[in-house]
Structure 1
Amino acid sequence: MKSLKIYLATGIFLLSFSCVAPPRPPKPPKHPRHGARPMPPGHAKKVYGSKSARPFAPGHRK
């Protein structure tokens, strides 16, 4: 009976940590505010913490 409790506790412990997903990076803004100038790709890269400005450039949308 004691070993059954240990197996159940171990199983619950392992399952509670196996379902954690890494955080997703934020998506770049789709449209600038009305009347505001669009943010340059290099500045958007810095604001959102990306390593590359390519996803923020208008010619590189996929």
Structure 2
Amino acid sequence: MKSIKIYLATGIFLLSLSSCVPPRRPHRPPHPRGAKPMPPGQAKKVFGTKSARPFAPGQRK
């Protein structure tokens, strides 16, 4: 019974640590010099994200 409590406490502790990982941000592809950058909507389609906000120049923080 005591070992079950220890395993349960360890499992809860490990789960609490895994929630501290920040979400991944989409990677912006490099483009050659002189070429026009990809529009945010097109980049969204290429990377398969739901929002174009991370690709828009005015939305970067």
TM-score, structure 1 normalization: 0.54
**C-alpha RMSD of matched pairs (Å):** 2.9
TM-superposition CA deviations, 1:1-47 (whole Å, max 9, x none): xx322221221222222322367233342853335431111111112
Aligned counterparts of 1:8 and 1:60: Cα–Cα separation in 2:
46
Correspondence for 1:49: 48
Cα contact 2:26–2:54 (8 A) shared by 1: no
TM-score, structure 2 normalization: 0.54
Correspondence for 2:36: 37
Aligned pair count reads: 60
> Which of structures 1 and 2 has the bigger CA Rg?
1
Equivalent AA in structure 1 for residue 37 of structure 2: P
With a CA cutoff of 8 Å and minimum separation of 6, indicate the structure with the bigger relative contact order: 2
Q: Give the percent of matched residue pairs that are identical in Structure 1 and Structure 2.
A: 43
Q: Which runs of 5+ in 2 are unaligned?
A: none
